[in-house]
Chains A and B, each alone.
Chain A
Amino acid sequence: MAETMDRTADPGLRYPTDEELLAQVLRPYRAKNCEYLKSAVVGVDSGPDGRHRVGAACTFQIPESCYIDDTGHFNSVEFNICYNQMFYYLLAKSVRESVLEPFARWTMDDFWARQLGDILITDFRSTFRRQMGARLFHGEIEMADVAEWDGSDIRDALVVIRTKCRYWDDLGGDSHGEVTVAILNPPQSGP
């Protein structure tokens, strides 16, 4: 049985912020006035196990919270909203640039069709080390593991992505988290 070659990008590659894609990804947030993600450089690096790691280095601005009066600090709800925006963008860019299997096999239409309904957080852990202002800060996300589960009689196909993320600002604020995301109804992979 021949081994299929992974169609993935080379380590060391950097993809600067794709403004058009970013705007499209954040469209669901527009009316709610919470487009927090301002830039995202997607990068491919070599992980300790020799496998490619895909991540994004991001900047955020939250001029005004979309759900609460000014608390003066970055809170867990914003952590979550920022995470979603980073993840959606990282996934969309991974599809567009074919940087990582299985997303290299997806089309952009596959992504848009699943962005809201089929991408679910199944496990979310966040830790706030040092309080951080929310106005302008940095964030990063990395896909630590991507597991493709085939469908069978007992369960439909599923892609499970374990990610790590972190936020910090220039004044020492720091928080991080580990989030697991499931993608339901992934596009059928070819034979």
Chain B
Amino acid sequence: MNVPADHVPSAAGPWPPAGAVPVRTDDLYALLAARGYQYGPAFRGLRAAWRRGEEVFADITLDGATGTASSSYLLHPALFDGALHGALLPSEDRRDALLLPFIWRGVRIRNSGARDVRLRLAPSGDDAVSLTLTDTEGREVAAVRSLAFRPVTAEQLDREGQGGTLLRVAWNTVRLPSDDRPAAAHWAFLGTDHLGVTGALKAAGRQPGIYPSLRDLDAGLRDGGTVPDVVVVSCTDEGAEARAATQRALVLVQEWLDDERLGGARLVLVTRGAVAARTGEDVPDLAGAAVWGLVRAAQSEHPGRFHLVDVDDVESFGAALVSGVEAGEPQLAVRDGGLSRPRLVRCPPGTSARRPDTAGTVLVTGGLGALGALVARHLVRRHGVRRLVLLGRRGPATPGAGELAAELTALGADVRVVACDAADRTALERVLASVPDRYPLTAVVHAAGAVDDGTVTELTPRKVERVLRPKINAALNLHELTRCDLILFSSVSGLVGSAGQAAYAAANTFLDALAHRRRALGLPGVSLAWGLWADGMGAELGTADLARMRRNGLALLTAAQGLALLDAAVSRTEPALAPVRLDDEALRQGAGSLPELLRDLAAPVSGTAPAGRPAGAEALRERLAGLPVAERDAAVLEFVRAEVAAVLGHQAPEGVDPGLEFREIGLDSLTNLELNRRLATATGLRLPVTLSFDYPSPAELAGHLARRLA
């Protein structure tokens, strides 16, 4: 039966209309749930229905709690959604199909504030219907001339969440050729020797120069002492808090990058118990774990300058440390004299060994931020969580908090929005004490965080503190004050050492370590080192940031992908996981530009680079040598413009004006650093960090490089 396109069925007449036969609705939502439609209590609005031939009539009512909010809507979503359920009434031919609204035509809605509506639904062409909603007086509330449905399969729905990858850190054995050559490198030890490193170095045949402080190192160099090739510093001190340890590491890193005399010296930061290099290993040195994050970022910004080594308390660690560092490995663990290095690997298929208990109250810190809100919705919709406490520093005053609470309430959840800084222990204790005994806390999601990006040379203690406090202090408080499932939202930036995010990386490796700690203590919890969410911080990234992320082998996670990964991750047993989206294209390019931890995920590259200078540098020099002299300068300029374009994420070098200053082209301290690094790799030249200040435009820089390459 076809209805003329501009006609909507009349609402007048008795109700239910003459000739309409009642349809059973008491088991409607159970049947729909079996077909794949999961409706919460507030969305179960269809109360009675009738059929007359192919027409359907129904009563739809908002439930009490939801109904109070109806006046703020043109038409309450739960009421409108309930009307569509009229199209889903069981019928012989489509009992098992999962239909989704696909094309809407001729939609008209009146501002009625209605709580109870009557639906008239009639077929309108193939797989389409027309709908009319009236209030109980017969006045029109809404009309849809034609709504077409399309069947989907459950697999199609799940596919939306595909594309993410669950990774975990594996520590792979590093085998180095035994080397009996006499030591060529000059080793030194700086600072207090908390871990017996000097003794271990001596046992390994190195005679380190000893400098109790940077002042002593400076004095030694002024006196004409040999500049050491490798300087080791101990970074595990049982008494040190994370902020003191990270600040001390930051002082060292900045000093290393600032003092030109140390330009050829590598700094080795040694910890004990700061990483879980073996399955189930405790991570007692949480402060040291934060140092790992900070230094990983410093390694990304300044490759080849810093090493991280975590040792055990077996005295023989010296030989392994020396051989690993001399072989140039940037990140190492020594266990029982053996070396291993961290690599992110794909998780084997899960067995759903664990299922978070969502029957009680779930607390979400940062629950009013973009990510926290996504998770809160997901917990209610997908996991049937009915009691939520959403924490935010500004609580109900947070923009969007009221809407979020109303939305979750409409979905059937009891939601409390609380102004609380979880880093404030007393305030958090108050919130936890207010959770009713009947619905005890069964899970906590710690999604709060802050970023304050800047290169490692620009960081100050205040910037670091701004990032550490909401993540670290809050996580520690939650860990100490709860015994329930603690899901810590960390970031993959701590594992890959995202350039420009040293403080953020430090905060996140602390969280990962805390999860290991908690599990070693027998308490439930997991740390999820997320890749960037498109809806979270990813929404604020510029072209250069996105290009850098891609070169790092990572892509933005969609909300569906992130939430699918969340479900997959919390059902597993590992204490720490990295749910990310990999950039397959970057991985296909080989391990070259990838962060240390992602290298094993890259496709193997055929052919080998000649020893010594990198392959890129050879290629560039050969290409230049093959050109007539008159064309070389232009070729170098093209090369510089292409590198600038690559750093900025531009498609073509033509967009880079050779005469403009780098600042005007859009380079900031981080992209400057990256340009410097790329140019150094491609030319094989050692370039000062001030390069783009000394030669502030592509043309000037190209001129300088051309002279040095000639």
Q: Does B210 lie at the interface of the complex (its beta carbon under 8 Å from any beta carbon of A)?
A: no
Instruction: State A147–B457 Cα separation when bound (angstroms).
Output: 13
What 1/0 flags go to A125-159 for Cβ under 8 Å of B?
00000000000000000000101111011111000
Q: How large is the interface on A (under 10, 10 to 19, 20 to 34, 35 or more residues)?
A: 10 to 19
Q: Does B646 lie at the interface of the complex (its beta carbon under 8 Å from any beta carbon of A)?
A: no
Q: How far is the CB of A119 from chain B (nearest CB, A)?
A: 18
A155 B461 Cβ-Cβ under 8 A: no
What 1/0 flags go to A87-113 for Cβ under 8 Å of B?
000000000000000000000000000
Q: How far is the CB of A164 from chain B (nearest CB, A)?
A: 16
Residues on A with C-beta less than 8 A from B252 are 154
Q: Does B244 lie at the interface of the complex (its beta carbon under 8 Å from any beta carbon of A)?
A: yes
Residues on A with C-beta less than 8 A from B423 are 1
- Which of A150, A154, A156 lies at the interface centre, i.e. has the most chain B CB atoms within 10 A of its CB? A154
Instruction: Evaluate whether A150 and B244 lie within 8 angstroms (CB atoms) in the complex, with A2-B424, A3-B424, A155-B251 already known.
Output: yes
A154 B473 Cβ-Cβ under 8 A: no
Number of interface residues of B (CB under 8 A): 22
B213 A154 Cβ-Cβ under 8 A: yes
Closest B residue to A153 by beta carbon equals: B192
Residues on A with C-beta less than 8 A from B212 are 153
Residues B228-252 near A (CB distance < 8 A): 233, 244, 247-248, 251-252
Q: How far is the CB of A98 from chain B (nearest CB, A)?
A: 19
A152 B424 Cβ-Cβ under 8 A: no
Q: Does B214 lie at the interface of the complex (its beta carbon under 8 Å from any beta carbon of A)?
A: yes
A154 B233 Cβ-Cβ under 8 A: yes
Residues B396-437 near A (CB distance < 8 A): 423-426
A153 B247 Cβ-Cβ under 8 A: no
A153 B213 Cβ-Cβ under 8 A: yes
Closest B residue to A51 by beta carbon equals: B462
A150 B473 Cβ-Cβ under 8 A: no
Q: Does B190 lie at the interface of the complex (its beta carbon under 8 Å from any beta carbon of A)?
A: yes
Q: How far is the CB of B348 from chain A (nearest CB, A)?
A: 40
Residues on B with C-beta less than 8 A from A147 are 460-462
Q: Does B222 lie at the interface of the complex (its beta carbon under 8 Å from any beta carbon of A)?
A: no
Closest A residue to B421 by beta carbon equals: A3
What 1/0 flags go to B455-468 for Cβ under 8 Å of A?
00000111000000
Instruction: Evaluate whether A154 and B248 lie within 8 angstroms (CB atoms) in the complex, with A148-B461, A149-B461 already known.
Output: yes
Instruction: Evaluate whether A145 and B460 lie within 8 angstroms (CB atoms) in the complex, with A150-B244, A154-B191, A154-B251 already known.
Output: yes
Main secondary structure of the interface of A (DSSP, over half): loop
Residues on A with C-beta less than 8 A from B248 are 152, 154
B461 A152 Cβ-Cβ under 8 A: no
Q: Per a CB cutoff under 8 Å, which of B190, B424, B425 touches A154?
A: B190
Residues on A with C-beta less than 8 A from B192 are 153
B215 A155 Cβ-Cβ under 8 A: yes
Q: How far is the CB of B243 from chain A (nearest CB, A)?
A: 9
Instruction: State A150–B244 Cα separation when bound (angstroms).
Output: 8
A155 B460 Cβ-Cβ under 8 A: no
Residues A160-185 near B (CB distance < 8 A): 160
Instruction: State A148–B251 Cα separation when bound (angstroms).
Output: 12
Q: How far is the CB of B245 from chain A (nearest CB, A)?
A: 9
Instruction: Evaluate whether A152 and B460 lie within 8 angstroms (CB atoms) in the complex, with A1-B425, A2-B424, A3-B424 already known.
Output: no
Closest B residue to A148 by beta carbon equals: B461
Instruction: Evaluate whether A152 and B425 lie within 8 angstroms (CB atoms) in the complex, with A147-B460, A147-B462 already known.
Output: no
B213 A155 Cβ-Cβ under 8 A: yes
Instruction: State A134–B624 Cα separation when bound (angstroms).
Output: 53
B214 A154 Cβ-Cβ under 8 A: yes
Q: How far is the CB of B80 from chain A (nearest CB, A)?
A: 42
Instruction: State A15–B192 Cα separation when bound (angstroms).
Output: 46
Residues on B with C-beta less than 8 A from A149 are 247, 251, 461
Residues B458-490 near A (CB distance < 8 A): 460-462, 473
Residues on B with C-beta less than 8 A from A148 are 461-462
Q: How far is the CB of A190 from chain B (nearest CB, A)?
A: 17
Residues on A with C-beta less than 8 A from B251 are 149, 152, 154-155
Instruction: State A69–B423 Cα separation when bound (angstroms).
Output: 61
Residues B191-207 near A (CB distance < 8 A): 191-192
Residues on A with C-beta less than 8 A from B255 are 155
Q: How far is the CB of B204 from chain A (nearest CB, A)?
A: 23
Closest A residue to B426 by beta carbon equals: A2
Instruction: State A83–B212 Cα separation when bound (angstroms).
Output: 36
Residues on B with C-beta less than 8 A from A154 are 190-191, 213-214, 233, 248, 251-252
Q: How far is the CB of A26 from chain B (nearest CB, A)?
A: 31
Instruction: State A145–B452 Cα separation when bound (angstroms).
Output: 14
Residues on B with C-beta less than 8 A from A152 are 191, 244, 247-248, 251
Closest A residue to B243 by beta carbon equals: A150
Instruction: State A150–B465 Cα separation when bound (angstroms).
Output: 13
Residues on A with C-beta less than 8 A from B426 are 2
Residues on A with C-beta less than 8 A from B461 are 147-150
Closest A residue to B462 by beta carbon equals: A147
Q: How far is the CB of A152 from chain B (nearest CB, A)?
A: 5
Instruction: State A150–B190 Cα separation when bound (angstroms).
Output: 18
Closest B residue to A158 by beta carbon equals: B251
Instruction: Sort A-B residue pairs by CB-CB distance and give the 5 closest, nearest first.
Output: A147-B460, A153-B192, A154-B191, A152-B248, A153-B191
Q: Which residues of A are at the interface with B, using a C-beta cutoff of 8 A?
A: 1-3, 145, 147-150, 152-156, 160
Given contact pairs A154-B191, A156-B215, a sample of 20 additional A-B residue pairs in the complex whose CB atoms are under 8 Å apart: A1-B424, A2-B424, A2-B426, A3-B424, A149-B247, A149-B251, A149-B461, A150-B461, A152-B244, A152-B248, A152-B251, A153-B192, A153-B212, A154-B190, A154-B214, A154-B248, A154-B251, A154-B252, A155-B215, A155-B255
Of the A-B pairs whose beta carbons lie under 8 Å apart in the complex, a sample of 13, sorted by A's number, is A1-B423, A1-B424, A1-B425, A1-B473, A2-B424, A147-B461, A148-B462, A150-B244, A152-B248, A153-B191, A153-B213, A154-B190, A154-B233
